[in-house]
Amino acid sequence: MIKLVAHRGYSALYPENTLLAARAAIAAGACGIEFDVQMCADGEFAVIHDDNLQRTCGVDISVFDHSLANLQQYSAHEATRFAEKYMPEKIPSLQQMLNFIACCRGLIALIEVKEESLAHWGVEQVMTKLCDMISPHSAQCVIISFSEAAIKKVKQCGGIRTGWVLHQYDSAQQKIAVKLQPNFLICHQRKINTDEVWQGDWQWILYGVQSAELALAWSERGIAHVETDHVGELLQDELLRRYACRYD
């Protein structure tokens, strides 16, 4: 059995990290959604990958200089990719995304806290606030990060699952993984350079999987979760379709 996680929602066909992309992923049959959060000037979290609105909203504005309410005045419709097709589409707040997730019982949300926010505001401030927000939704949520310090802080909070995203797949990172003991290890599939992935008390999630053939190949190697931009296309495959998730 393999479960498909929608990378930034159904981001191949819809503006990334938006409620529109999240809804489309659910409709397509995704079993999980990954999205990114940055901390704004008022301490709230915006669901956005970059620390600047230029790429998704077309305006050169730093997330760190504005409140969430101010940022939500701009449309994240990704004009470079989609022209005006999806305009207007607000940047979601983390709370809006959590409310959406709560309506889909069984859905897993991977919430990636970005390193730019950790560097700008500090791990303690960002992770304390994030843990407080995620705790009521811990049954469905996993906080993920490239940052070891962030993962350690989540473990101190207690009750929230963690996913450590690997910069590299090498012996140094393996040693850190053994010490961190996250619930999930997350890695780009192209970085895996061994026949068998590291064994431990974690589950693996491989991202950058953009075809049904590749997803099935990883499934045969024991990988239970793959992350993709193309969740709808992959679930057109007859074998993968049986593993689609449906929600009331």
Q: Are strands 184-188 and 161-165 parallel, antiparallel or unpaired?
A: parallel
Is 77 an active-site residue? no
Q: How many CA atoms lie within 13 A of 34 on its CB side?
A: 28
Phi-psi region of 114 (alpha: psi -120 to 50; beta: other; left: phi over 0): beta
Q: Which of 49, 120, 137, 188 is catalytic?
A: 49
Instruction: Calculate Rg over the CA atoms of the chain.
Output: 17
Check 7, 66, 77, 230 and give the catalytic one: 7
Known catalytic membership, residue 49: yes
Instruction: For residue 55, give Cα distances in angstroms to 15, 48, 133, 221.
Output: 11, 10, 27, 36
Residue 7, sorted as left (phi over 0), alpha (psi -120 to 50) or beta, turns out to be beta
Output the six-digit token pair for 45.
């979290």
Contact, 200 vs 208, CB < 8 A? no
Q: Is 127 helix (H, G, I), strand (E, B) or coil?
A: helix
Catalytic residues: 7, 49
